[in-house]
Chain A
Amino acid sequence: MGFTKVTPKVVLAEVRPGQEVLARRGAMLASSGEIAFSPVVGGPGGGAYGGGIAASLARGMQGEAVPLMVAEGNGSVHYGFRGHHVTVIDLDGSHPMSVEADRLLAHDANMSSSVVFLGQQGGLRGAVRGAVTGQGLFTTQLSGRGSVAVLSHGGTFALRVGGSQQIVVDPQAYVAHVGNLRLDVATALSWRDAVGRGSGEGVQLKVSGEGTVYVQASEEKL
């Protein structure tokens, strides 16, 4: 199980009975074997695949859910999306992973996904963080054992969090994180930004806790 990289932008997933794969709708490039694709009713995280009604309700509130489809049967599927780079992240089940919904390409269907309202973590500040970073107020949280394929512009690099040094990420370059991490919006705005002479790094995501954060080499959103 898991995803195999075919090129930096295409992954291959093996599908077996009981090992279904959930993917962004329309991301299938090719498939071989006996594979059936069906839309996931109730939005991502809803229906039979984890999350339950609460998650699909939360999705509904968001209004811009990325539609998912499930691949079932026996065979293999190639996934890719708009020529974006794909990063495969394997989870051993000990820590959850959070990823921006737009950047989720595919994941094992036996992982449970839930929609996390960022506001729950940090109250009003969390909501502000979502609004400021333009990531919406919801991210998809995946937990359990399995493999996740994440989209990025130009590929990602991983930064370990938990050392003595504080890690700060540009909100537009943030892709995903694994582990028990806390993200806080820090504003380093000064009078310079107000007069148009800012450094362009006025809004930053401060990452604290223990885990790994994935960052892309660009500030482009998907």
Chain B
Amino acid sequence: MPWRLETPRVLVVDLDGSKTSAVRAQTGSMVAYEGDVQFKNAGMGGGGGLRAAFKQRVTGESLSLMEVTGRGTVHLAVDAGYVLVLDLAGDVLKAESEGLLCLANSLTTDVTFTGLQGASSGQGLFTTTVTGHGQAALISLGGPPIALRVTPQTPLVVDPDAYIGCVGNLNQSFVTDVSWRNLVGESSGEAFSLRFEGQGIVYIQPEER
């Protein structure tokens, strides 16, 4: 059953009791529900299996999800952020774990190494990868999300604090622009940025974390 938005900030998921309609949502994101619905912590790894759980423990990428099952209608929202619903058809979605609102049960999650850049960008060294066929919802704080297209001819540079996720075949690299100006306190405030190359779409939010 397709998900819908009650307001731009509230995601509504219908559950018909079947396993395919069940979802995994960010822990604590339920604001209201109708019917007979159960919430259960998805366990370590956010239901991504033992390997993902182990990687999370080691990496500190804390994907905290709960399994939502039963029969009814669930309303999900986080910090009044705008909801972005994506239909994945075998695409790869990479996202920051705190930006994930809801995932269809048919999707699998894993933790991947994004390179050393994470350490200084504060985005974590690792990112959550979502693969499979189904719907996924992300949260965009501060306003509606902005989708930016990346093609081999037009690479993209974004602020790590505004980055929420990307879909497609993208290579992520870290750009530093630290010069003597930073040392004397005259920096532009944009010393670190994320560079995307390849083919795909990058989503950013209007608010910097």
Tell me the A residues contacting B by CB distance below 8 Å.
85, 153-155, 157, 159, 163, 165-170, 173, 188, 192, 197-201, 213, 215-220
- Residues in B whose Cβ lies below 8 Å from that of A173: 31-32, 77
- Residues in A whose Cβ lies below 8 Å from that of B75: 157, 159, 215
Find residues 37-51 in chain B having any chain A CB closer than 8 Å to their own CB.
37, 39-41, 43
Q: List 22 A-B contacts (CB under 8 A).
A: A153-B79, A154-B77, A157-B75, A165-B35, A165-B72, A166-B34, A168-B34, A168-B37, A169-B31, A169-B32, A170-B30, A173-B31, A173-B32, A197-B43, A199-B39, A200-B27, A201-B30, A213-B32, A215-B32, A218-B77, A218-B78, A219-B79
Find residues 67-91 in chain B having any chain A CB closer than 8 Å to their own CB.
67, 72-73, 75, 77-81
Q: Which of B2-10, B106-114, B118-126, B192-200 contacts A (4 or more CB under 8 A)?
A: B2-10
- Residues in A whose Cβ lies below 8 Å from that of B30: 170, 200-201
Chain B, residue nearest A188 (CB) = B39
Q: Quick check: is B66 within 8 A (CB to CB) of the other chain? A: yes
From B28, B33, B36, B67, A219 is in contact (CB under 8 Å) with B28
A154-B77, A155-B7, A216-B80 in contact; A170/B34 too (CB < 8 A)?
no
- Residues in B whose Cβ lies below 8 Å from that of A159: 32, 34, 75
- Residues in A whose Cβ lies below 8 Å from that of B34: 159, 163, 165-168
Chain B, residue nearest A167 (CB) = B34
Chain B, residue nearest A165 (CB) = B34
Flag if B79 contacts A220 (CB, 8 Å).
yes
Could you list 7 further interchain pairs (A-B, Cβ under 8 angstroms) beyond the known A157-B10, A166-B35, A200-B66? A85-B80, A153-B79, A167-B32, A192-B40, A201-B30, A217-B9, A218-B77
- Residues in B whose Cβ lies below 8 Å from that of A216: 31, 77, 80
Cβ of A89 to closest chain B Cβ, rounded Å: 16
Q: How far is the CA of A157 from the CA of B72 in the complex (A)?
A: 18
Chain B, residue nearest A195 (CB) = B41
Cβ of A56 to closest chain B Cβ, rounded Å: 33
> Of B37, B67, B79, B80, which is in contact with the most chain A CB atoms at under 10 Å from its CB?
B80
Flag if B28 contacts A217 (CB, 8 Å).
no
Flag if A153 contacts B33 (CB, 8 Å).
no
Q: How far is the CA of A195 from the CA of B207 in the complex (A)?
A: 34
Flag if A154 contacts B80 (CB, 8 Å).
yes
Cβ of B81 to closest chain A Cβ, rounded Å: 8
Find residues 49-68 in chain B having any chain A CB closer than 8 Å to their own CB.
66-67
Chain A, residue nearest B10 (CB) = A217
- Residues in A whose Cβ lies below 8 Å from that of B29: 200
Flag if B43 contacts A201 (CB, 8 Å).
no
- Residues in A whose Cβ lies below 8 Å from that of B10: 157, 217
Flag if B28 contacts A218 (CB, 8 Å).
no
Cβ of B170 to closest chain A Cβ, rounded Å: 30
Cβ of B36 to closest chain A Cβ, rounded Å: 7
Chain A, residue nearest B42 (CB) = A199
A197-B41, A198-B41, A201-B39 in contact; A170/B32 too (CB < 8 A)?
yes
Q: How far is the CA of A166 from the CA of B34 in the complex (A)?
A: 5
A199-B41, A200-B66, A201-B66 in contact; A219/B9 too (CB < 8 A)?
no
- Residues in A whose Cβ lies below 8 Å from that of B66: 199-201
Chain B, residue nearest A205 (CB) = B32
Q: How far is the CA of A192 from the CA of B32 in the complex (A)?
A: 21
Q: How far is the CA of A168 from the CA of B38 in the complex (A)?
A: 11
- Residues in A whose Cβ lies below 8 Å from that of B36: 166
Flag if B27 contacts A154 (CB, 8 Å).
no
- Residues in B whose Cβ lies below 8 Å from that of A165: 34-35, 72-73
Chain B, residue nearest A201 (CB) = B39
